[in-house]
Amino acid sequence: MYLLILHDKHIRMNSLIKLTNFIVGFLIFLIFSPNTTAQAPGFLYANEISKGSTIYIVSNHDTILRNNEIYSNYVVSKNSIPYFFKGEFINPDSIHYTLLDSNQFINEISTIEEDWLLFVHGAGKTFNNAVQRGLDVQHYHKVNVLVFSWPSRNPKVSPGDNLRMMRPNVSKSMVHYKYTLDLMRTFKNENKGFINHSLSAIYHSIGNQFPKNLALEDSAFTNQEPIFKYSIINAAAVEEKGHTRWLENLKLQERIIVNSNINDVNLNGIRIFTKESYQLGETAFYPLANNATYINFSDIVKFTLPPGAAHTYFIGKSPAKYPAVYEFYNDIFHGKTSDFTKLPYLQKREKGDVYDFK
């Protein structure tokens, strides 16, 4: 009987281990697969975007342009100068690309004297996915988007391999990111529209590794005039610990906005399944950076499965459901809202420049 009980316990233990492994494996797949690292790849508003709509892209993908189509090798280009493209929306399955040199690129975007947003995407994006997301943001928020597209997804390898290659790819891409910042400074000086309009930047998810690396490693940008109205640190997949050190050394902008959501399953997963601690896009602990404004979305952007809407909440389901979320992003994308205390949907905390969505 004793042996039978041990055998039965052994069977139950093996079953429990198998069930636990299945659940953990499923969660890892759910969190880190390219379909859930943000909103799913592909267009969200394809049926609303007009044929002929254009978007501009700076890219360091190793690519080939053939018959107006981009073919990527999913690796970082060895060329120290990025590529410059204009994309034209034909239909949801077709974007035609034109390769420009840097002078053509600056000349073209400088004729568009409106609000502009530099978009540095996060994980799970091929070249075309990044452009699709840029067109979505451009259409939904009616702001001109310039996409910085870097290799954050190789569809030929596993989600785990993609996760491991992303931060090394950021490091390899820093030379192209710095080139883009110099280009943005020239753009700001060349475009006369910035007398009345704004130029801001949003870094999403692991894309926040770019300004972090810059602030920690390169002082060349610290003693110059700001390029951007806002640097938006959105759902940052970088560790919260020590974030004040690099944020306070980031001088690219007039103002820094740090957006977080403790219900962000993607960022929860990084903390649970890797050796990293809390991510900045989950929450920020005191002390806070003295040059940043913190916006907590946790009470309005709830836990969701699939987790995309709780991670990418500047487009898609969250702003569609909560008009205040749309209004917040739309305002800062257009360089508005200098005084957050006047916004009825934000509640300022007693300590620090921190606001909670009601």
Compute CA 305 distance to the chain's CA centroid, rounded to the nearest angstrom.
Answer: 19
Q: Which pLDDT does position 6 carry in this prediction?
A: 36
pLDDT at 7: 35
Asked whether 120 and 82 are in contact (CB, 8 A), the reply is no
pLDDT over 50 (residue 23): no
In this prediction, residues 268-281 reach a mean pLDDT of 93
In this prediction, residues 39-59 reach a mean pLDDT of 90
Say if residue 11's pLDDT is above 50: no
Angstrom CA distances, 127 to 72, 82, 152, stand at 7, 13, 9
What's the pLDDT tens digit per position in 152-169?
Answer: 999 999 988 998 999 999
